Amino acid sequence: MNLSVGLGLTNDCDLKCAHCYRPRGKIYNLTLRDVKRICESLEVGSVGLGTGENGLNPEYFSIIDYLRERRIPVTLASNGLTVQTTPDQILKTFREVEFSVDFPTENEQDAFRGEGNWRRILSGIQRCRKLGMEVSVLAVLMNLNYDKLGELAKFVGALGCNLRVNVFQPAHSRAYMPSYDQYWEAFRILFDRSALISCTEPLVNTFSGLNTLHGSPCGCKSIRITPLKEVLPCVYWPGEKVSLSELIVLKEAIFDLPQFRESRRTPKGCGTCGYVANCRGGCRSRAFLVGDPDGADTFCPLTRGRMERLSFTPAGEKELLRSQSICTTIVRG
């Protein structure tokens, strides 16, 4: 099983973004030994570094060296700090680098994430592009920016970057969660202003007519290990956790545990739906987080007696590490 493994090397960060899902308070770090044990227990096809600002992990450079020695493709998500502190010769070893940007203007971005963040990110993007690297901007779809994603896509495209969009998940609060109408309007705007590279957001994939899924890739094609040494089918999974020590013993049999089977379960009410073979009820983590673990995805139109149709312009094939491993949408402006 060629897995996409998400590693949160640390929950430490120099910013305190209000919508972030990372654990707050005490700082936790994965160690080089932990990463070695993970890679020796699973057939790792690629690694995605996320959660906190990974460069703040005390063993960050040793871990990157180890992954490079094993020839494992790595993508790094950063607010710009880790990129800023990583030398060129190491930075060039990443397959892809992603910068977290949620708004299309400096004032909006800095007001939400912190003063100076916009310029740090632009500097990092320019540096990575100069090194010939694949660069994406990673945005979180919220009720604050749902109508700005098209504008962001155009700006990002002008920089020669991809735009990857994740839907906000209410891990700590529902304050930034888009409404049903905002969710669908956001993707209409996005697809109108950009070309689609890939989409594994189950409902969007289904109601755009792509039909290239068999449910969410989380918990079957990918696995996540947090700085707290918890093993999850999805980084937002709110259900019972599995420990890293269990992973070391069970190896890929971990996917047969109840927690992982639950993350792949199709809600009973979706069984007779004509779209179930593709979306499988949508995002299971979101259903749990909104308090309806037995229900379909809260953004499903059919449960509301509605129908949504999305049209898009294909951008052509492009192999990106995140394109098939998590619920996400990638476009080019």
Bridge partners (DSSP) of residue 44 are 3
Fold that domain 3-201+217-264+311-332 belongs to in CATH: TIM Barrel (3.20.20)
Render pLDDT for 40-90 as a digit per residue (tens, 0 to 9). Answer: 999 999 999 999 999 999 999 999 999 999 999 999 999 999 999 999 999
Query: Looking at per-residue confidence, does 333 or 96 come out higher?
Result: 96
**Mean pLDDT for the stretch of residues 305-330:** 92
- pLDDT(143) > 90: yes
pTM of the predicted structure, to 2 decimals: 0.96
Q: Give the tens place of pLDDT for each residue, 218-250.
A: 988 899 999 999 999 999 999 888 999 999 999
What is the pLDDT averaged over residues 104-110? 98
Distance CA 191, CA 310 (A): 8
Q: What percent of the chain has pLDDT over 70?
A: 100
The yes-or-no verdict on residue 1 having pLDDT over 80 is: no
Segments making up each domain of the chain, as ranges? 3-201+217-264+311-332
Give the mean model confidence (pLDDT) for residues 112-126. 97
Q: Quick check: 147 pLDDT over 90? A: yes
pLDDT value, residue 241: 86
pLDDT-derived band at 319, boundaries 50, 70, 90: confident
Candidates 226, 188, 213, 228; CA nearest to 309 is 188
